A and B are shown apart, each in its own frame.
Chain A
Amino acid sequence: GQQVMQIPQYQHVQEGEDFTTYCNSSTTLSNIQWYKQRPGGHPVFLIQLVKSGEVKKQKRLTFQFGEAKKNSSLHITATQTTDVGTYFCAGPFPTGTASKLTFGTGTRLQVTL
Chain B
Amino acid sequence: NAGVTQTPKFQVLKTGQSMTLQCAQDMNHNSMYWYRQDPGMGLRLIYYSASEGTTDKGEVPNGYNVSRLNKREFSLRLESAAPSQTSVYFCASTRGYEQYFGPGTRLTVT
Contacts and interface: CB of A to CB of B under 8 A. Distances in A.
Contacts, number: 51
Interface residues of A, number: 23
B103 A42 contact: yes
A33 B98 contact: yes
A68 interface: no
Interface string B53-96: 00000110000000000000000000000000000001010101
A69 to B, nearest CB: 15
Contacts of A48: 97-98
B2 interface: no
A105 B40 contact: yes
A99 B100 CA distance: 12
Interface in A80-112: 88, 90, 93, 98-106
B107 interface: no
Contacts of A93: 45
B42 A103 contact: yes
Given A33-B97, A42-B101, A42-B104, A101 B90 contact: no
Interface residues of B, number: 25
Please indicate which of the listed interface residues B35, B43, B92 has the most CB atoms of chain A within 10 Å of its own CB.
B43
Given A1-B59, A99-B50, A44 B101 contact: yes
17 contacts: A31-B97, A33-B98, A33-B99, A42-B103, A43-B99, A43-B101, A44-B101, A48-B97, A48-B98, A98-B96, A98-B97, A100-B45, A100-B58, A102-B45, A103-B44, A105-B40, A106-B42
Interface of A: 1, 9, 31, 33, 35, 41-45, 48, 88, 90, 93, 98-106
Given A43-B99, A101-B99, A103-B44, 7 more contacts: A31-B97, A42-B103, A45-B98, A88-B43, A100-B45, A105-B41, A106-B42
